[in-house]
């Protein structure tokens, strides 16, 4: 956990993040989908974060974190480690703010994500996720350059930035449930923090791949636990085996619950989004949709928001999902 993660984010931090992001981040659409509503017996709304800058929600938290750096910190630059979406979010925010960025990425990360990160001007440092520690590599680079390490989820400013999605949902409707793809929990906890204040009866449901369902296990037990975290999954964006300390604390306090979906469910959700919703969604970004389509979670007669969190998918993976 970063030193800044010792500060627990409050609702006021989400409001402050919204002011910083106003006119910079995209206020993404929230639209009801008749097909999904008819199919599930619920009123289903889609929060389409695939239309955010960089193609995922990650830009919100990254910009909120970087825009608060001091002039000295900006000159020294930032370092992040990510399989792709946080990488792009940090790189894009850094480019907008004139901050040098270095991103530690898995050598086998989707090429579309690596290429996009480089296009935003970042220095990409590849590593072997099976044999090397991205945290150690990032820490070494930061020490050499005097740079700031930007965490992907266990940080109050990152969480507050992602929480602006919750503010946008609450401004449009009062949902019964908001289904959110989850890895370390920065997105789901930020949304939960906003909704707990604005729509206290709304409940967040985290959705993770099987074998990486640390949030589900933790919320069921009431203590922070780690999942197996060893199997292969098509959801490269959702591979944290345990929620961060800050996200778990927020999710637990907000009475969130978790579910897990299989890779087959994720593949079907990506294909459904492309063929029926006419939206390109990556496997991790389609996790909440997958749980609805697979009936892993259902709430007939209720108002549901499905967060489509990212659309940065390798064309070959998209083709495979549609074919299968």
Q: What is the CATH number of the domain that holds 68?
A: 3.40.50.1100
How many domains is the chain partitioned into structurally?
Answer: 2
249 and 124 fall within a common domain: no
Last residue of a domain, one of 149, 180, 208: 149
Instruction: Using alpha carbons, select from 96, 117, 95 the residue that is nearest to residue 106.
Output: 117
Q: Which residues of the chain have pLDDT under 50?
A: 1-5
Q: Report pLDDT for 147.
A: 96
Q: What are phi and psi of 300, to 5 degrees?
A: -55, 135
13 and 81 fall within a common domain: no
170 and 240 fall within a common domain: yes
215 and 319 fall within a common domain: yes
Neighbours of 278 (CB within 10 A): 7
Q: What are phi and psi of 297, to 5 degrees?
A: -135, 135
Last residue of a domain, one of 102, 119, 149: 149
Q: What are phi and psi of 47, to 5 degrees?
A: -100, 110
Beta strands at 43-48 and 30-32: parallel, antiparallel or unpaired: antiparallel
Last residue of a domain, one of 99, 127, 149: 149
Contact of 312 with 105, CB cutoff 8 Å: no
Cα distance between residue 261 and residue 292, in whole Å: 10
Q: Is 186 helix (H, G, I), strand (E, B) or coil?
A: helix
Kindly state the DSSP code that residue 284 receives in the 8-state scheme. G
14 and 79 fall within a common domain: no
Q: What are phi and psi of 55, to 5 degrees?
A: 85, 10
64 and 53 fall within a common domain: no
The tokens for 161 are 């930035």
90 and 218 fall within a common domain: no
Question: Read out DSSP for 49-75?
Answer: GGGSGGGBTHHHHHHHHHTT--HHHHH
178 and 276 fall within a common domain: yes
163 and 217 fall within a common domain: yes
Please state the pTM of the whole predicted model: 0.95
Cα distance between residue 110 and residue 119, in whole Å: 15
102 and 250 fall within a common domain: no
Q: Report pLDDT for 129.
A: 82
144 and 235 fall within a common domain: no
Q: Is 30 helix (H, G, I), strand (E, B) or coil?
A: strand
Residue 221 burial (C-beta neighbours within 10 Å; 0-12, 13-18, 19+) = exposed
Contact of 158 with 184, CB cutoff 8 Å: no
Q: Residue 126: which domain range?
A: 59-149
26 and 39 fall within a common domain: yes
């Amino acid at each position: 956990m970063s030193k800044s993660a010792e500060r627990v984010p409050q609702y006021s931090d989400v409001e402050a993040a919204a002011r910083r992001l106003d006119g910079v981040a995209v206020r993404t659409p929230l639209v009801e989908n008749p097909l999904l509503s008819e199919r599930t017996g619920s009123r289903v709304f889609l929060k389409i974060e695939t239309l955010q800058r960089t193609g995922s929600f990650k830009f919100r938290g990254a910009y909120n974190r970087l825009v608060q750096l001091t002039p000295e910190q900006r000159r020294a630059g930032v370092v992040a480690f990510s399989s792709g979406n946080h990488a792009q979010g940090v790189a894009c925010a850094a480019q907008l703010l004139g901050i040098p960025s270095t991103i530690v990425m898995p050598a086998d990360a989707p090429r579309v994500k690596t290429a996009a990160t480089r296009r935003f001007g970042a220095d990409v440092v590849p590593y072997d996720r099976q044999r090397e520690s991205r945290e150690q590599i990032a820490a070494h680079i930061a020490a050499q350059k005097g740079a700031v390490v930007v965490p992907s989820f266990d940080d109050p400013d990152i969480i507050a930035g992602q929480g602006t999605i919750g503010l946008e949902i609450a401004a449009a409707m009062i949902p019964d449930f908001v289904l959110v793809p989850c890895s370390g929990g920065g997105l789901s906890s930020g949304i939960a923090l906003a909704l707990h204040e604005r729509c206290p009866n709304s409940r967040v449901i985290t959705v993770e791949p099987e074998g990486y369902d640390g949030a589900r296990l933790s919320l069921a037990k009431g203590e922070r636990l780690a999942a197996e975290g060893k199997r292969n999954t098509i959801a490269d964006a959702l591979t944290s085996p345990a929620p961060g300390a800050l996200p778990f604390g927020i999710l637990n306090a907000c009475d969130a619950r978790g579910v897990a979906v299989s890779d087959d469910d994720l593949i079907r959700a990506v294909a459904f989004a492309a063929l029926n919703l006419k939206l390109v969604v990556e496997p991790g970004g389609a996790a909440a949709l997958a749980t609805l389509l697979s009936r892993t979670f259902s709430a007939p007669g209720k108002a549901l928001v499905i967060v489509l969190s990212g659309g940065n998918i390798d064309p070959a993976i998209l083709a495979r999902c549609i074919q299968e």
